[in-house]
Amino acid sequence: MSNNTIQLDDQGRLKHFLTIEHLPRALLVEILDTAERFTVVGDRIVKKVPLLRGKTVVNLFFEPSTRTRTTFDLAAKRLSADVMNLNIEASATRKGESLADTLRTLEAMQTDMFVVRHQNSGAPEFIAKQVAPGVSVINAGDGRHAHPTQAMLDMFTIRRHKPDFENLIVAIVGDIAHSRVARSEIHALATLGVPEIRVVGPKTLLPSGIEQLGVSVFHDLESGIERADVIIMLRLQQERMQSPLLPSGHEYFRTYGLTAPRLRRAAPDAIVMHPGPINRGIEIDSSVADGQHSVILQQVTHGIAVRMAVMSMAVGTQATNQ
């Protein structure tokens, strides 16, 4: 079964946004174009449009998050929705309530959209199968599986700088194994026509069979970013720095940290991205993070517009189907 039978309605419009895998290219472009129109909203004196007026959005976070939750919160508010933030890690499930029961309770409050972050891969999809018709589910990151809005804001950022996806070399560097961002980015880049997607990292951080997603594998950073137009550095979680996966953050920086001299191997106008929060001196040197190639802060700004786009498209689909 394709995931699109859940994500799209019978006319191919976005109902839920759970994963980028198998979504048609036109839909990804539509998300980017819609987001482009929303970027101006943030520059106005009144930073609001009424597209989600009267709708209730619940941010359902089973895992801690600052920037993703904040930008979803802002995006929903700029669309004039009523927003409720629930940090479930601290409440219901601790009391032994099942996910299905938590959901029923929240649905009884007549919610129109759930924005879900969960530690278990597939949880948003599970929720999407449970909710009443007319309710949308947006994946804000599930386990190691997907983080589709992060990937789309990265695509948005790339397109702003390099509009021609079909002529790009993109390198994703670091902890691919535990990264939902990397998986979603790979699907998005491939769908948008990027001919060369590379993953770079030590064998302990590359998941088994990753090449079957259509990427080429590099274990050496310098050859991995050779001539790359886009370099996406992934965050290395603190608990993995000294573990059976890696001896130390220091050694990681020496082998996979992006420094100015190494960056010279990439294309001269390469952009450097990072989903944040960054570990300076671990994944990336400060001179690169703050340097002219870095577009890291733009990513955050674009996050709001992209999330507005996805939310408004999903609610729009549901409204016309009612």
The residue among 66 and 212 lying less far from another protein, judged by its C-beta, is 212
Q: How far apart, in Å, are the Cα atoms of 8 and each of 22, 51, 128, 170, 248?
A: 11, 20, 11, 28, 44
As measured in angstroms, the least distance from the Cβ of 132 to another protein is 16
- Secondary structure of residue 191 in the 3-state scheme: helix
Nearest to 152 by CA among 7, 303, 314, 21: 303
As measured in angstroms, the least distance from the Cβ of 306 to another protein is 21
The residue among 207 and 316 lying less far from another protein, judged by its C-beta, is 207
Q: How far apart, in Å, are the Cα atoms of 79 and each of 51, 54, 76, 139?
A: 5, 10, 5, 18
The residue among 18 and 32 lying less far from another protein, judged by its C-beta, is 18
Token readout for 215 is 């990427």
As measured in angstroms, the least distance from the Cβ of 210 to another protein is 6
Question: How many C-beta atoms surround the C-beta of residue 300 within 10 A?
Answer: 15
Q: What are phi and psi of 271, to 5 degrees?
A: -105, 150
As measured in angstroms, the least distance from the Cβ of 166 to another protein is 24
Q: How far apart, in Å, are the Cα atoms of 313 and each of 51, 83, 100, 116, 219?
A: 10, 17, 26, 17, 39
The residue among 90 and 100 lying less far from another protein, judged by its C-beta, is 100
As measured in angstroms, the least distance from the Cβ of 145 to another protein is 3
C-alpha span between 149 and 312 (Å, rounded): 13
The residue among 123 and 305 lying less far from another protein, judged by its C-beta, is 123
As measured in angstroms, the least distance from the Cβ of 320 to another protein is 25
As measured in angstroms, the least distance from the Cβ of 205 to another protein is 12
C-alpha span between 125 and 19 (Å, rounded): 9
* Binding interface with another protein (CB under 8 A): 1-3, 6, 21, 98-100, 118, 120-123, 125-126, 142-146, 180, 183, 207-210, 212-213
Per-position b or e across 195-234, b if 16+ CB within 10 A of its CB:
eebbbbbbeebbbeebeebebeebeebeebbeebbbbbbb
The residue among 207 and 281 lying less far from another protein, judged by its C-beta, is 207
The residue among 80 and 120 lying less far from another protein, judged by its C-beta, is 120
C-alpha span between 25 and 27 (Å, rounded): 5
